Amino acid sequence: MAVNYSHLSDAELYRYLSVPEHRERAFEEIYRRYGQRIYAYCRKILFNTQDAEDAFQTTFLKFLSSVTPHREMSNLPAYLLTIARTTCMDMFAQRHEHAELVEDFHGKPDQTVEANEINELIEMALQLLPAQWREAVIMQLYANMSYDEIASALGVPMTTVRNWLSRGKQRLREILQPYFEERHVEHPH
């Protein structure tokens, strides 16, 4: 019987990871579903492409090595993000230095200089946020996670997530507002 992995739930895919003949295809489907989200998270947390790629690969290796046939997986994206978060924090601890902005994750070769400047400004503004606010904002905006998923990944109540997101976004607006007011005056439409 052929299995259509794209129609399986996350919990079913996780169970298939323990079955040797299904392991590779189940993993490919999980990777297809969540790889982009995990990479975006690592990239925005670490602000360095090479470190993000290392953390991304390490996350999926740790995930695969953690698979057990007896575990029930109720929230696969939160579980993956928890592994990614731990991996990124470990990398921070090992580096003992501030992450540098090497390139913009969303940058495309044909973007204008102004768009790249805005993206860099947003990246730098994110760095000015307290760590919890920054992480919650990145999880929501760049990893497209729900309040529930963020709360689960960070191990905090949903009310705390709402609070961090609200404060983080407000602080980002405050940091960025003078720049955009200046831009509006320089480049009226």
Residues 76-103: tens digit of each pLDDT: 998 998 899 889 888 866 663 333 333 3
Rounded Cα–Cα distance for residues 141 and 160 (Å): 17
Helix 131-141 vs helix 20-46: crossing angle, to nearest 10:
130
- Asked if residue 59 lies in contact with residue 42, where contact means CB atoms within 8 angstroms, the answer is yes
Residue 162 has pLDDT above 70, yes or no: yes
pLDDT at 93: 64
**CB environment 96-117: b (16+ within 10 A), e (fewer):** eeebeeeebbeeeeeeeeeeee
* Count: domains in the chain: 1
What's the chain's average pLDDT?
A: 81
124 domain-assigned: yes
pLDDT at 64: 94
Residue 123 has pLDDT above 80, yes or no: no
Q: Which domain holds residue 109?
A: 8-186
Compute the half-sphere exposure of residue 170: CA atoms within 13 Å on the CB side of its CA. Answer: 6
Question: Which amino acid appears at position 179 of this protein?
Answer: Y
3 domain-assigned: no
pLDDT at 107: 39
How many residues in the chain? 189
Residue 178 has pLDDT above 90, yes or no: no
13 domain-assigned: yes
pTM: 0.61
1 domain-assigned: no
Rounded Cα–Cα distance for residues 106 and 110 (Å): 12
